[in-house]
Amino acid sequence: MKTMILYASTYGFTRDCAQKLKQNLNGETILIDINKDPIPALDNFDTVLIGGSIYIGQIQKKIKKYCLSHLDELKNKKLGFFISCGSAETVDTYFKNSFPEILLEKALSIQNFGGEMRPDQMNFFHKFISNMVDKSADKQAAPPMKPLPENIIQMSNVMNNLS
Ligand SMILES: Cc1cc2nc3c(=O)[nH]c(=O)nc-3n(C[C@H](O)[C@H](O)[C@H](O)COP(=O)(O)O)c2cc1C
pLDDT tens-place string over residues 69-124: 999 999 999 999 999 999 888 999 999 999 999 999 999 999 999 999 999 999 99
How far does the centroid of ligand 1 lie from the alpha carbon of residue 86, in Å?
A: 6
pTM of the predicted model as reported, rounded to 2 decimal places: 0.96
Estimate the crossing angle of helix 13-24 against helix 149-160, to 10 degrees: 40
**Residues near ligand 1 (Cβ within 6 A):** 9-14, 53-57, 84-87, 115-118, 122, 126, 129-130
| pLDDT tens per residue across span 140-157 | 777 888 999 999 999 999
Q: How far apart, in whole angstroms, are the C-alpha atoms of residue 94 and residue 129?
A: 18
Q: Which residues contact 135 (CB under 8 A, 6 or more apart)?
A: none
Alpha-helical runs (H) found in the chain: 13-24, 61-69, 71-75, 91-98, 101-106, 124-139, 149-160
The answer to whether the CB of 59 falls within 8 A of the CB of 8 is: yes
High-pLDDT (> 70) share of the chain, %: 99
How far does the centroid of ligand 1 lie from the alpha carbon of residue 161, in Å?
A: 31
- Write down all domains in the chain, each with its CATH number in brackets: 2-160 (3.40.50.360)
